[in-house]
């Protein structure tokens, strides 16, 4: 087992991450590293946290290799985003702050043709922002 040798700043950051209720996976990883730093074996940490020894070994090794950055989520596979942040901002700005010339509000079709994007793209953006 590789020694961790946490700095005070790393220990403080990991302790903060353990209290994060939104990112439970990150909180678990932080708990694993903190318990490993206390000198416990992978098997003991796994039993305490009710995870497998492979899980503890994986996060211990990633921490040793990459430090704090190794505990963060890596980009997921899949197609890259096809709608830029600027386009999302344009859809939101037109929807919330402008009116079409001959109506009270935008329809998804009318806004899509005004911005040169698909109707489904407009609907996805509206859905993402609960509009």
Average pLDDT over residues 88-114: 93
pLDDT, tens digit, 9 for 90 and up, residues 46-79: 999 999 999 999 999 999 999 999 998 777 788 8
For 3, counting Cβ atoms within 10 Å of its Cβ (0-12 exposed, 13-18 middle, 19+ buried), the class is exposed
Q: How is the chain split into domains, by residue range? A: 8-71, 85-128
pLDDT of residue 21: 82
Measured CA to CA, the distance from residue 103 to residue 100 in angstroms comes to 6
How far is residue 46 from each of residues 33, 36, 51, 59, 103, measured CA to CA in Å?
A: 11, 10, 5, 11, 62
Average pLDDT over residues 115-119: 95
pLDDT, tens digit, 9 for 90 and up, residues 21-34: 888 999 999 999 99
pTM, full prediction: 0.59
């Amino acid at each position: 087992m590789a020694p961790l040798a946490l700095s005070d700043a790393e220990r403080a950051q990991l302790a903060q991450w353990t209290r994060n209720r939104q990112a439970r996976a990150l909180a678990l990883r932080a708990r694993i590293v903190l318990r490993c730093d206390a000198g416990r074996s992978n098997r003991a940490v796994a039993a305490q946290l009710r995870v497998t020894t492979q899980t503890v070994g994986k996060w211990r090794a990633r921490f040793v290799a990459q430090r704090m950055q190794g505990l963060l989520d890596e980009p997921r596979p899949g197609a890259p985003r096809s709608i830029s942040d600027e386009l999302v901002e344009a859809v939101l700005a037109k929807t919330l702050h402008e009116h079409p010339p001959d109506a009270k509000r935008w329809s998804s079709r009318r806004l899509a043709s005004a911005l040169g994007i698909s109707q489904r793209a407009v609907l996805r953006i509206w859905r993402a922002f609960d509009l």
